[in-house]
Structure 1
Amino acid sequence: MTLKTILLGACSALALAGMASAETLTIATVNNGDMIRMQGLTSEFTAANPDIQVEWVTLEENVLRERVTTDIATKGGQYDVMTIGTYEVPIWAKQNWLLPLDNLGADYDAADIIPAISGGLTVDGKLYAAPFYGESSFIMYRKDLMEKAGLTMPDAPTWDFVADAARKMTDRATGVNGICLRGKAGWGENMAFLTAMSNSFGARWFDENWKPQFDQPEWKNTLDFYVNLMKDAGPVGASSNGFNENLALFQQGKCGMWIDATVAASFVSNPKDSTVADKVSYALAPDTGLGKRGNWLWAWSLAVPAGTQKAEAAQKFVSWATSKAYLELVASKEGWANVPPGTRSSLYANPEYQKAAPFAKMTLDSINAADPTKPTVKPVPYVGVQFVAIPEFQGLGTTVGQLFSAALAGQMSVDDALKQAQDASTATMTEGGYIK
């Protein structure tokens, strides 16, 4: 055997040993565009960290929530990094289900995270999840269809204006719906939209004594308005449409307006994906003159479950994916308009981003306008804009979402949906000891 053969064999053995000793992180995430892009860039992380491999589990939003909740509550240990939201972080941190992110590296600059976003991810002064992107919600609309309807969209419209415009922009003959709104059941799907909308109508989930409020006129006004608007100006089968379905409809030119997450702006204005990219503009979420707009506050964030055996590698990945350097990486590959928005103050001070993203200022204004500590017109005992930050909300919100989706589909009346929502909420809150 020659010396060359021996050396080659030794190198191969070392390479195999290196692969065998590499830690594999299992990361659960949602099938939204920014996360799909992150997966495409994972090789940049593994090239810089050859001792770490990454395995992705990519799921639809409702399924992701169900899987990660089950896994963390049962200490299943399936995932080393989880994509979770602003609702879960404080609740799970208090249960000691998440590790504090205290090892993100010297150059991470956590102070650069937008305060409205980091506030929802921090418990007792410690960050328990790092935001991959942050969002509020606003109106995305077709300038050409608005003009054709003889209307001019105000920067801060009312719901009455939006409803009138939606009906005038609807053209069933050409398949154009005046408005696309979430109808798919789920506490983070249709109930995110409807809870934020209800805030602007003066509604609330519970009064100061945790008594459910679905039997009050404000919720009746909200749901009647929504169902009638969608019947007149929404797409067929709207009760099955969530974020991704409405995004596709808007990009295909089938929606005059869409009220949804600010993160969608880069996708509807990207000519690679959107047939109406050059026709889109933006406005604040609507109100009814009561002092609250129908916009939410959310961050999809990366967290490390307490059950992982790979905490150091997991935090290394979280740091990479939520860093300033990651934003620069996406900008170099896809352009500044396509970087994950809503997380870092420095992004919104960046002239290149401001120039590339016409939606930047309205996104930041919407994020800063949402107040989770005072989400409603009347006082409430809970925190959260489009959700109620109690453990019971996940199940209850989905139940109510199914009822309201059924009302939208015409399977039950608005009155029946509200009565059943009131009954289900009363039972949940009684069982949880909130009300006697």
Structure 2
Amino acid sequence: MISATRTKEPIVADDHRFGGPENQRRRLLQAGFGVAALGAIPGAGQLAAYAQPAFDWKKYKGEKIEVFHIKSPRGDLLTKYHKEFEDLTGIGIGSEMIPEQQQRQKAVIEFNSGKPSFDVIAISYHVQKRLFGKNRWLEDVRPMMADQSLTDPNLDPGDFAKGGMNWAVQPDGRLDSLPFNIDPWVLYYNKEIFDAKNVAYPKDFAEIVEAAAKLNDLAKGISGFVGRGLKNANVPVWSSFLLGYGGGFIDANGKLMTETAEAVNSAKMYQTLMAKSGPQGVAGFNWNESQSLFAQGKAAMWLDGIGFAQPLEDPTKSRIVGKVGYGVMPPGPKQQVSAMFGDGQAISSFSSKKGPSWLYLQWASNKANQARMLEAAAGAPVRNSAYANAEALKSLKVPRAWVECMLASARIAQPGLPVIVPVTEFRDTFGIALTNMISGADAATELKKATAEFQPVLDKSEKG
């Protein structure tokens, strides 16, 4: 059994204190989504510095751009409304949307070729920020943002949340994307399964393991816990536990912290949950397989991003509508943390259609689309205004407890992966170790091997 020190007064989501739009905005700001950092964006304050032609959405009418999305609720949402952009601008859209791992691999291959097939790309900050920034594969949008003839007066840069903009700005100050979504991880749970066995929502890590064991019911085909077991994709599950144990990724001297007691204990927790309370074949599960199992009422708990909620409340896709609990990550032995990830939209620096692409970025991240994201529970919008949008809150496709959970999670969020260039290699290397653990391999031994393998890769990347 995984032991853990009980932490007093953990942050939880509670729908009885939800309140109205103004209360939501106040909670948002308290969660650290403040706008102060936006005033410091170089170029953002120069929009009215000198006389320029008036902005016109039809400036590039007749052009066509290629957009490369990740298959996700956010990609689905933008694709659904692409005709709106085409009607607004007269610009045609060619769109490709594939699963995240394939999209990331293809993006690197195409960027390295110097002739990528896309003008606009959806990027995952937690995986691609440092790599893309170091290679200058993305266009710095500050000059276009400062050009009144290219920038919609309603862009309102000050509306972007601090956390999202921190992701979008490179260390040298370049703003080479616009943020779109922040994705804190939460613990989804099936309230009906919990109630049937009189099990309370876990108060800490130890109780997660205990609850998973109690609710695991092989006779009924119900798993106590489900999460990503597939290599690479599985690392954020482990890192969610690692952060709660007080661990980290890399120390001040550039050395991996992946053989510490915190790293080993969190890996053992992952191993216990997946191997003893997970479904058969879980080593091959990514988020979509996990979501499907949970939506069919065959798993008591599922740990993943908050942006995957909407299908769970869709009666055409889910058997657990109205039975889903949205839980803030319980405290670990050292701290209560929600692993945070994020994504944005960017323009390829190789594109010959940067002007039309900039219009797409503005449209994609506008207030209407951010409100749509909130309404559909497709993710956590990065615009403050979305949470004060009364219509979006009124039309939520999920319970209001989802918003409470998201805001509470945002207050305790920390990056769920190291911000390094070879983060994909990090995920591959440690992902294999985690998958091996599910099959019974010793956690400490696997972490030691993975650390020895990846440290030279990290060292080389920092020198290059």
The bucket for the TM-score relative to the shorter chain is 0.7 to 0.9
- Are positions 1:54 and 2:89 aligned together? no
Judging changes above 3 Å, is the alpha-carbon distance between structure 1 residues 58 and 339 closer, same or farther for their aligned structure 2 residues? closer
Unaligned 5+ runs, structure 2? 1-60
Q: Alignment partner for residue 384 of structure 2, among 319, 332, 345?
A: 345
Taking the TM superposition and a 5 Å limit, the aligned residue runs for 1:200-239 are 200-239=244-283
Bigger drift between 386-395 and 121-130 goes to 121-130
Please say if 1:368 is aligned against 2:407: no
C-alpha displacement of 1:66: 1.0
C-alpha spacing 1:339/1:235, structure 2 compared with 1 (3 Å): closer
**CA distance in 2 between partners of 1:338 and 1:259 (Å):** 16
Give the counterpart letter for 2:389 in structure 1.
Answer: N
CA deviation after TM superposition for structure 1 residue 121, in Å: 0.8
In structure 1, which of residues 390, 406, 411 is the aligned counterpart of residue 420 of structure 2? Answer: 390
* Number of the residue aligned with 1:131: 179
Contact map agreement 1:283 1:362 (CA 8 A) in 2: yes
Counterpart residue number, 1:34? 74
Report the CA distance shift for 1:225/1:305 in structure 2 as closer, same or farther (over 3 A): same
Distance 1:159 1:353, change over 3 A: farther
Residue of structure 2 aligned with 1:308, choices 351, 366, 389: 351
Q: Name which of 437, 453, 464 aligns with 1:407.
A: 437
Q: 1:431 to 1:326 in 2, by over 3 A?
A: closer
Task: String of CA shifts for 1:334-386, please: whole Å, max 9, x gaps.
Answer: x9244653322112223344453411122122123224xxxxxxxxxxxxx22
The answer to which of 344-353 and 189-198 deviates more is 344-353
Contact 1:237–1:409 (CA<8 Å) still a contact in 2? no
Letter paired with 1:336 = E
SS in 1 for 2:105: helix
Question: 1:24 corresponds to which residue?
Answer: 64
Query: Alpha carbons of 1:289 and 1:416: their partners in 2 closer, same or farther (altered >3 Å)?
Result: closer
1:97-246 equivalences in 2 (<5 Å): 97-101=137-141, 102=145, 103-123=150-170, 124=172, 126-153=174-201, 157-186=203-232, 189-246=233-290
Alpha carbons of structure 1 residues 430 and 115: separation in structure 2 relative to 1, 3 Å: closer
Deviations 1:133-178 (A, max 9, x none): 2210111111111112212226xx3111111111111111221111
Amino acid at match of 1:423: A
Kindly indicate whether the alpha-carbon contact (under 8 Å) linking 1:89 and 1:129 is maintained by their aligned counterparts in 2: no
Q: Distance in 2 between matches of 1:190 and 1:228?
A: 14
CA shift for structure 1 position 416: 3.3
% identical aligned pairs: 22
Letter matched to residue 428 of structure 1: V
Out of 401, 415, 422, the position equivalent to 2:451 is: 422
- Give me the whole-angstrom Cα distance separating, in 2, the residues matched to 1:161 and 1:260: 18
Secondary structure in 2 matching 1:296: strand
* Higher Cα Rg, which structure: 1
CA distance 1:95–1:433, shift in 2 (3 Å): closer
Aligned residues: 391
Normalization by structure 2: what TM-score?
Answer: 0.78
Contact 1:28 1:57 in 2 (8 A): yes
Q: CA deviation at 1:126?
A: 5.0
Q: Is the 8 A contact 1:30 1:60 kept in 2?
A: yes
Q: CA RMSD for the aligned pairs?
A: 2.3
Please say if residues 30 and 58 of structure 1, whose CA atoms lie closer than 8 Å, have aligned partners that are also in contact.
Answer: yes
Hey, which bits of structure 1, 4+ residues long, moved more than 6 A? none
Asked if 1 retains the 8 angstrom alpha-carbon contact of 2:328 and 2:409, the reply is yes
Structure 1 portions without partners, runs of 5+? 1-20, 372-384
Partner Cα separation in structure 1 for residue 453 and residue 378 of structure 2: 41
In the TM superposition, what is the alpha-carbon distance from 1:95 to its structure 2 partner?
Answer: 3.6
Alpha-carbon distance, 1:424 to partner: 0.8
**Counterpart AA for 2:331:** D
2:346 pairs with 1:317: no
Partner Cα distance (1:36, 1:118) in 2? 23
The CA deviation string for residues 22-70 of structure 1, in whole angstroms up to 9 with x for no partner, is: 33211111111331232122122112222x2111221111111111122
Contact persistence 1:140–1:282 (CA under 8 A): yes
The one-letter code of the counterpart of 2:227 is: L
Aligned-partner SS, 2:309 = helix
Contact 1:91/1:391, CA 8 A, preserved across alignment: yes
Secondary structure in 2 matching 1:178: coil
Q: Assess, with a 3 A threshold, how the Cα gap between structure 1 residues 229 and 57 changes in structure 2: closer, same or farther.
A: same
Question: Which amino acid counterpart does residue 174 of structure 1 have in structure 2?
Answer: K
Give the Å deviation of 1:388.
Answer: 1.3
1:40–1:429 CA distance, 2 compared to 1 (3 A): closer
Q: Are 2:167 and 2:179, in contact at CA under 8 Å, matched by a contact in 1? A: no
Question: In the superposition, relative to structure 1, how do residues 338 and 423 fare at CA in structure 2: closer, same or farther (>3 Å)?
Answer: closer
Shift of 1:310: 0.7
**Following TM superposition, by how much is the alpha carbon of 1:432 offset from its aligned partner in structure 2, in angstroms?**
4.1
**TM-score, normalized by length of structure 1?**
0.83
